[in-house]
Structure formats: structure tokens, C-alpha cells
Amino acid sequence: MTAADLARYLSKYDLVATLDLIDAALQTRTQEQFQRLMGLAGGLVPIENSHASVADLDEHGAIERTRHQININFPTGWLQAYRQQRLITEDPVAKHLFVSDRPLIWGQIRQSNREAADRRFYGRAAEFGLRDGFSFGARFVRSRSASFFSCAGAGLTSDRRHITIIQYMVPHLHSALAKVHTSLLKSQPLLTPREIEVLNWAKFGKTNWDISVQMGISERAVKYHLANAMFKLHAGNRSQAVAVALSQGLIDWG
């Protein structure tokens, strides 16, 4: 992937559209905006359906549980089968994820890989019309989660033009997903307002007594909120509660 590729395979209109797409990705904050963003991408390369998910990772970097899913025309039958049969364990794409910081073209994996298990996997996917497409997965910089998304469409990756656009576009889709993730986390309130308030004081090193004065409640009430927050965040003490809340984006850095 070089600048020469850009000039060779892309028209001026393509370049304008790609730059504009990157700019739109920068502005993306909400799930709806992300869907519009994918619509924009679909106008540029033949994406028929796409599926984006954000997942938490365990300490080894493996996918622990899925947090959000943004599905655009992706065959629900496939998603069900994928989840129910835990196909992620045999997904040749998932195996390669997080290893490379470039999108993975299904066709390339298929060619380089002739194992029976992989052929079976692609056979199943093809039953749902998923033949041509790419996947991308990358960790978020400051949290133990990652984005993981796939786009499919006839002829999507058989053209150097498409592949070039995808290469340049994908990292910004990932950043957009990161921002969507943050906004979604805040919109589905795991913690109550009081719990957040207490954590915000605890992060500054305030004692329970300090916080009780600041909030105009008893010291016991502070301990109550903190205990609830610790329970919800699976934290053993206030330090861990603050660390988890920060890394999840549940409290800010003010």
C-alpha cells in the first residue's frame, strides 16, 4: 500500500470521497452516525452488508464478551449460527486478528489456507451469501476492548480500487467505533449518578469523610455508594473501582 497505489487505482472523485469519509469518521460519535458512515462507505465500494462489534478482551487478548453490535444487513442467520456454534473458535479471520493492523481480505486467507476446517467454515459462510469481503479487528488504545468488523459484497475485494480504498478507510472506521463505544457505554448507565459522583471524588484521593462533606451526606452513605460501585465493577477496593471506571470510560479525567 503506497501513495503510488492511490494515484494509480483511484480517480480524483474516489480520492475526494475517501478523504471526506475519513473526515466523517472523525465526527462520528453515535451509533446512528456510524450507520450513516457505513452508508457513505457503501457508496464508494460495493458493501452490501456489514457487521461491527465491540468486545471486551481477557488478559490474553482473547475475546471475552461482546459489548455492542451494529448490524447492517448482515444475515442474522449467520450471526446466530456464529454465536450459537461458537464459530469464532474456528474462524480463520478471527485467528489472524490483532496480529496485523491491516484489514484481512477473505479471499487471500482462503487462497493461502487449504485446511479442511477452513474450507468448511467458508462453505458455511457462503450458504448465507458471504463470499467476498474483508474483516478488521484492532484493540482500542486505552481500554481492554477491541473493535471487530466485517463487510461483505459481491466483487468487494476483487478490484485494486476497492482494496486501496478499504486499506485507507479502515483505521478510521475503527477509531469511529471506539468513539461510538464510549458514547454507548455512557448512555447505558451501569452506575447511578451518586456512584459516579463518589468515584469522581475517590479518583482524587478523597477519603470517605472528605466526600461526605462535599456531597452533604453522611460518611456511611458514601461507603454505601462506593460499595455498590465496587460490586458492579467487580472491584475489590476503591483503587480498583476507580481504575475500572476510568478504563471503561464511566468517569472522566477532569
Partner DNA sequence: CTGGCACCTGTCCGAACGGACAGGGTCCGC
Partner DNA sequence: GCGGACCCTGTCCGTTCGGACAGGTGCCAG
171 interacts with, out of DNA, a second copy, none, CB within 5 to 8 A per kind: a second copy
In this complex, which beta carbon is closest to a second copy, that of residue 7 or of residue 154? 7
- 204 is a site residue for a second copy (CB under 8 A): yes
Could you tell me the smallest distance in angstroms from the CB atom of residue 249 to a second copy?
8
- 195 is a site residue for DNA (CB under 7 A): yes
The CB-based long-range contact list for 113-120 (8 Å cut-off, 24+ gap) reads 117/90, 118/90, 118/92, 120/90
CB atoms within 10 A of CB 73: 14
Residues 31-70 that bind a second copy (CB under 8 A): 59
**What type of residue is 188?**
Q
- 19 is a site residue for a second copy (CB under 8 A): yes
- 212 is a site residue for a second copy (CB under 8 A): no
Residues 1, 141: Cα–Cα separation, whole Å: 24
- 218 is a site residue for DNA (CB under 7 A): yes
Which of 65, 112, 220, 253 binds a second copy (CB under 8 A)? It is 253
The alpha carbon dihedral of 229, 230, 231, 233 has a sign of positive
Which of 131, 144, 161, 186 binds a second copy (CB under 8 A)? It is 144
Q: Which three cell numbers stand for residue 103?
A: 484489514
- 24 is a site residue for DNA (CB under 7 A): no
- 219 is a site residue for DNA (CB under 7 A): yes
What are the two backbone dihedrals, phi and then psi, of residue 178, each rounded to the nearest 5 degrees? Answer: -60, -40
Residues 151, 133: Cα–Cα separation, whole Å: 5
- Where do contacts with DNA occur on this chain (CB under 7 A)? 192-195, 207-209, 212, 215, 217-221, 223-227, 230, 236-239
